[in-house]
Structure formats: C-alpha cells, structure tokens
Amino acid sequence: MPRNDIDRIREKIRLRQYDMSAHAMEEMAEDLLTILDVEEAVLNGQIIRVEKDDPRGTKYVVVGTALDRQTPV
C-alpha cells in the first residue's frame, strides 16, 4: 500500500533527513518556536493544504501544536 504524503514527511523527521531554511528559522524565532515545536506539530498535525504551483516543488501546509500541546504551529 502506498504511503501518504504526511507519513513520508513524518518519516523524514524521525530519521532527521530534512533541512530547515534560514527563512524558516527566522520565522520560528519571530513566533518564539523551536525546531522541536515544529517537529512536534508535523508529527502530530495534519496537512491542510497542498500547493503545487511553486517552481521549486510541492509545498505542504501542516497545522498542529507545539511541544506544550497548546501553542498552534
């Protein structure tokens, strides 16, 4: 059975096979989030939108909560 997109993304996080852009790091800092908060949100959140019109590739908008299980990410 083929794995769905969120499962593949979560697997990359578990295996630490991803890169975080400088822009993403700046955005996290502005929102007072850590990389662990973002990982938690992806590991336990859901894809709410898929954007396929970017020439750099498909983008997935994922929503979830930070490590505190309250802060929206």
pLDDT tier for residue 3 given thresholds of 50, 70 and 90:
confident
Select the more confidently predicted residue: 64 or 3.
64
Question: Mind listing the pLDDT tens digit for each residue in 10-64?
Answer: 999 999 999 999 999 999 999 999 999 999 999 999 999 999 999 999 999 999 9
Helix axes 35-44, 22-30, angle to 10 degrees: 90
| Beta-bridge partners for 49 | 61
Q: What is the pLDDT of residue 1?
A: 41
Given a contact cutoff of 8 angstroms between Cβ atoms, the answer to whether 45 and 73 are in contact is yes
pTM across the whole model:
0.86
d(CA 26, CA 5): 26
